[in-house]
Amino acid sequence: MSASVVSVAVCTYRRPEVVATLASIARQQLPEDVTIQVVVADNDTSREAEARVLAAADLNCLPVTYVHAPERNICVARNACLDAASGDWLAFLDDDETAGPGWLAALLSQAQQSGFDAVLGPVKATYPPQAPSWLVAADLHSTAPTFTNGQILKGYAGNVLIRRSAIDRYSLRFDPALGRMGGEDDAFFYRLTDGGGSIGFAPDAVAYEPVAPARLSLGWLLQRSFRTGQTHGSRLLGRQGWLGRVVQIAMAGAKVILCLGVALARVRSVRSRNRWLVRGALHAGAVARLAGLGVLKLY
């Protein structure tokens, strides 16, 4: 590897778990020619996390830059990280995630060997004891990239490394209009790949995320999947005339019917049935957005 400086960005909002996140960053096993800078953007109106973050930085001997981004809008915080980061690379990690010790080295290795502009790592969900057994078995909260014809067209900001030069080249920013609705990650990475950028995957760059009790339900999963589908529909809106939109609605609608049919056929298997319902909600969201319905507000 050539010498590199990596800025690791963490956006936080009233989560004490950020202390564990920073400790996991401090435990990274990196090549000698790689150094890190950590940027923490506090999205609260008060500077609620400042003392906690700076204490964790001192305890772990981490070079941390604390930034106050008080809009209660995740895009404002992420853009503040883009502005404060000074490294050749920028990695994002959520404030309730912890990274395995080989996380950053795996992302860097994949990016440098393959020339990708961004590299995603898997986010493994960890479930509390009260989680329904079907949910643990289906593991619908874990995150990995979707491949389309062998390529990754969109990403997520929970576990990713991005070249600084690509951020500048494609003028990448997170859209504040999506900061409380969701879908801001998809829009950000679609802009990268639509401009000609590339996204890779490093399966060994694992981050771990505990599932909050409020998210341990089929209803929450259906809502999130529906909103993801709306993001895809919004992208198609800007690329299709009225005839193309009709075709896309028909195709997505057929997928909804297929998913519901399979869910009905597998009604006795809670895990399989609910997995297909969640998949159907994705296509239903695309239909709704293509039909002109408003975007669901998640946050």
Q: Write the secondary structure of 30-98 as one string of H (helix), E (strand) and C (coil).
A: CCCCEEEEEEEEECCCCCCCHHHHHHHHHHHCCCEEEEECCCCCHHHHHHHHHHHCCCCEEEEECCCCE
CA 115 to each of CA 18, 86, 112, 118, 119: distance values in angstroms, whole numbers, following the listed order: 31, 20, 5, 9, 10
42 & 146 share domain: yes
Tokens 């981004």: give the residue.
69
Residue 203 domain-assigned (yes or no): yes
Question: For residue 217, how many other CB atoms are within 10 A of its CB?
Answer: 13
Specify the pTM: 0.90
Task: Please give the Cα distance from 183 to 299 (Å, whole number).
Answer: 11
* CATH number assigned to the domain comprising residue 43: 3.90.550.10
Instruction: Determine the pLDDT at residue 1.
Output: 44
103 & 207 share domain: yes
151 & 116 share domain: yes
132 & 280 share domain: no
Residue 146 domain-assigned (yes or no): yes
Q: 180 falls in which pLDDT band (50, 70, 90)?
A: confident
Give me the amino acid identity at 135.
L
Residue 268 domain-assigned (yes or no): yes
Tell me how many domains the chain contains: 2
Angle at 151 between CA 146 and CA 155, to 5 degrees: 45
Domain boundary among 184, 215, 246: 215
Q: Return the closest-CA partner of residue 234 out of 193, 191, 286.
A: 286
Q: For residue 163, give the 3-state DSSP assignment.
A: strand
Q: Cα 103 to the chain's mean position, in Å?
A: 16
Q: 4 falls in which pLDDT band (50, 70, 90)?
A: confident
Both tokens assigned to 248: 């896309």
Residue 299 domain-assigned (yes or no): no
DSSP letter at 13? S
Asked if 296 and 285 touch (Cβ cutoff 8 Å), the reply is yes
Residue 295 domain-assigned (yes or no): no
Residue 296 domain-assigned (yes or no): no
Q: Cα 115 to the chain's mean position, in Å?
A: 21
| Bridge pairing between strands 151-152 and 89-93 | unpaired
- Angle of helix 242-265 relative to helix 218-237, nearest 10 degrees? 160
- How would you class 26 by CB atoms within 10 Å of its CB: exposed for 0-12, middle for 13-18, buried for 19 or more? middle
Q: What is the pLDDT of residues 47-106, one digit of tens each?
A: 999 999 999 999 999 999 999 999 889 999 999 999 999 999 999 999 999 999 999 999
194 & 231 share domain: no
Q: What is the pLDDT of residues 113-167, one digit of tens each?
A: 999 999 999 999 999 999 999 999 999 999 999 999 999 999 999 999 999 999 9
60 & 170 share domain: yes
Q: For residue 59, give the 3-state DSSP assignment.
A: helix
- Angle of helix 242-265 relative to helix 270-290, nearest 10 degrees? 170
Task: Please give the Cα distance from 29 to 25 (Å, whole number).
Answer: 9
180 sits in the region (left: phi over 0; alpha: psi -120 to 50; else beta) called: alpha
Both tokens assigned to 128: 């509390």
Q: What is the pLDDT of residues 203-246, one digit of tens each?
A: 999 999 999 999 999 999 999 999 889 888 887 776 767 888 89
Q: Going by C-beta distance under 8 Å and a sequence separation of 6 or more, which residues neighbour residue 143?
A: 122, 123, 125, 156, 158, 159
Instruction: Determine the pLDDT at residue 299.
Output: 55
What is the span of the domain harbouring residue 251?
A: 218-290
